[in-house]
Amino acid sequence: MRRDDALKRLRDRQPQLRDAGVSELFLFGSVARDQAGADSDVDLLMESADPHFSIFDLVQVKALCREILGAPTDLHHHGGLKRAAAFRTQVEPDLIRVF
């Protein structure tokens, strides 16, 4: 999947993603670098302003993103980025704000 295609699809569905609890969404990884191959997944990082956002909500958002993109999707919650320094170091250079 091309970076611009992923960004457009996600931005076009921003209201639906916000209704699902996503307050911020970022793209990273091979799609963000526009180096994705045919079997690459789409890596996303999200934040939720809802203090009751749960792992079950995360699974639903991941399924929604997979539906929107029509591609395998890996979704991480931003809280994990804050806690895991190695993960943060790896993904921060690629982060592109979707919304």
Mind listing the domains of the chain with CATH numbers?
3-97 (3.30.460.10)
Q: Cβ distance 30 to 97 under 8 Å?
A: no
Bridge partners (DSSP) listed for residue 44 = 27, 75
Cα–Cα dist 93/29, whole Å: 9
Q: What is the pTM of this model?
A: 0.88
Summarize pLDDT for 51-84 with one digit per residue, the tens: 999 999 999 999 999 999 999 999 998 775 566 6
Cα–Cα dist 20/72, whole Å: 19
Summarize pLDDT for 15-43 with one digit per residue, the tens: 999 999 999 999 999 999 999 998 999 99
Amino acid in position 6: A
